[in-house]
Amino acid sequence: MRMKDKVALITGAASGMGAATARLFGREGAKAVVVADVLDKEGEAVVADIRKAQGKADFIHLDVTDEAGWKGVIDQTVATHGGLDVLVNNAGISGSAEQDLYDTAAWNRLMGINATGVFLGMKHGIAAMKKGGRRGSVINLSSISGIVGQGFIHVGYNASKGAVRLLTKAGAAQHGRDGIRINSVHPGLMPPMRTSGRTADPETRAKTLKGVPLGRAGEVDEVAYAILFLASDESSYVTGAELVVDGGLTAV
């Protein structure tokens, strides 16, 4: 039971890696898993799955770009479950459906959800952890796109994921003495996002796959287990780190 006694909030947990992480935290005995997303029906379904497996979970509607919404979700989590121990800033959108890689509206959307959404989560999540006097762990979902550039994705995706990488390190530097650890996770070739365009295209995927030393795409649970390690006390001396989960793609 690697999440015993821990209250965890996961954004974008209605789908993909967020949903896999929520289910895993449930199986690992979390005191509560708060599933937050803009997709209510899908989020409720994840909660139902967790409860069916004897886990404890709630769904809360949250648009991560909405600061008042963040305050409400954090307040509700603390009031219902007595505090916050783990925050997974996972919600995100892809830049691979954009034709114009410099489209300004897309830049604002990508930075708003992928970067400002994480900033707001850190701002309000860390404040709640500090106020409760609890040690905490924040895990921010970046990407290999936060480490290297790609020619076929809107530049705002790389920029937003790069922002997440350094936001993580700045937070780690500032909050270590509060007992709060902050790390980033960098998945590589994974099942496509709901908002994927070119990265969902079989031809593009086959090309990317050629550069993956492990010779296959990753699975959502393989990222969820990396997040679990950073959320649990097993990683008690790990902060400001970037955990790459890409089958070796950026190693070569």
**Interface ranges with ligand NAD (CB under 6 A):** 11-12, 14-18, 37-39, 62-65, 90-93, 113, 141, 143, 187, 190-195, 199
State which residue, 132 or 155, has the beta carbon closest to ligand NAD: 155
Query: Whole-angstrom Cα distance, residue 168 to residue 165?
Result: 5
Instruction: Please indicate whether residue 225 is annotated as part of the active site.
Output: no
Kindly report the backbone phi and psi dihedral angles of residue 166, in degrees, each rounded to the nearest multiple of 5, phi listed first: -85, -30
State which residue, 90 or 150, has the beta carbon closest to ligand NAD: 90
CB of 174 to ligand NAD, least distance (A): 22
CB of 237 to ligand NAD, least distance (A): 25
State which residue, 36 or 128, has the beta carbon closest to ligand NAD: 36
CB of 44 to ligand NAD, least distance (A): 12
State which residue, 65 or 132, has the beta carbon closest to ligand NAD: 65
CB of 125 to ligand NAD, least distance (A): 14
Residue nearest to ligand NAD (CB): 16
- Select which of 102, 157, 225, 237 is catalytic: 157
| Half-sphere exposure at residue 113, Cβ-oriented, CA atoms within 13 angstroms | 20
Active site residues: 157
